[in-house]
Structure 1
């Protein structure tokens, strides 16, 4: 039985005050919640503060991060390595987010390289895949998702997806207020799982596939009721403790 994961991607948002208030609020809101893994990915500068607040709260929130380099040390100014992330207790690392692919020109092959290096360092990759609005309108959704997945599968084998997380994020629904219907999202998730099953039914059955794309408390329960949606990668709604906790609680209830 797959255990849902609800992860908050804070993106380029934060201050010491905000991080303290948000995690203090989350610790309170998630008291006693079971059946779902809850993770947060603050900006790297706030990993130390987040680690301390999570430990103080005692609710076992998973600490994540938003990116990684493909080196653990050396002359790579401005980058953050997997070993540095581990040193601050981060375990779940987002890679391949559409914003990294677009603004930093990260290719499928480079994202796959990051995936492999995270696995080598004992960390959990959260691999983002998804199509643009133009690709969606052209009927290319499944082809785009398959291509992004195959960059990993064809270089590392399908078993590399074990102990990893896939986050399907239709780019046209990120931060736009638009969202796929629960039925549309389920159809894509089922197709992603079927694509993986061509290589291994066992891997496909067990891999966690999150949905990301304007997930909020109002639509979370309907999304999580779908059989192939295993939680969410949450953007803007993750910056509000009560709202984000409501999404996590919806995941726990739907999969109970």
Structure 2
């Protein structure tokens, strides 16, 4: 399937590739990132986390280029990184700090001016539905609240680009629904990238889906286009149309 036609580019990857030791994670990825919610789908090991690390400027690509807001992402300037919010899959959290103190520390790391941090923290707590535990110690939080705290720190300062790496990993169905709803309600967010290996975590909130498979982009299009592929290829009543589309794309049965 042809790449989505884009009008405004937040970021651009050209011929992007990365390897670990002798293993190619992905090769020759070219795409634009625009306003809206982009779902990044792929099986475990497809390269989703590596791609998000490059987008966050935490990792330099081995090949190709990646630009953010018209600037080379390799510059890694404080001004550039201040415009990015990144939720990693996991992070060792300081259990002795309160939720508010942890967010204040992350706000300082992000370069948010002291006078603006209290309001930035308040808004992040509201958006992550953590206001009721603002004074609690991090070590007292449940697993689901830990995920929402990681989510909250990425929201500090309302970044222009929000990167969420497997935000629902390890959550039960109720918690996954809750976090998906929180992501979907970020009406201030300019561009959001959410990665997952589960279609049902992406299709309710994504405007666009990019699928990584076998070191390449196997699909780049809308949720509606995924639905069409699934309807054309689904032969099992126990499989959703999006799961059918995913399997068809992995088997190279669907048009690109």
TM-score (norm 2): 0.36
Bigger radius of gyration: 2
Normalized per residue, the structure richer in helix is 1
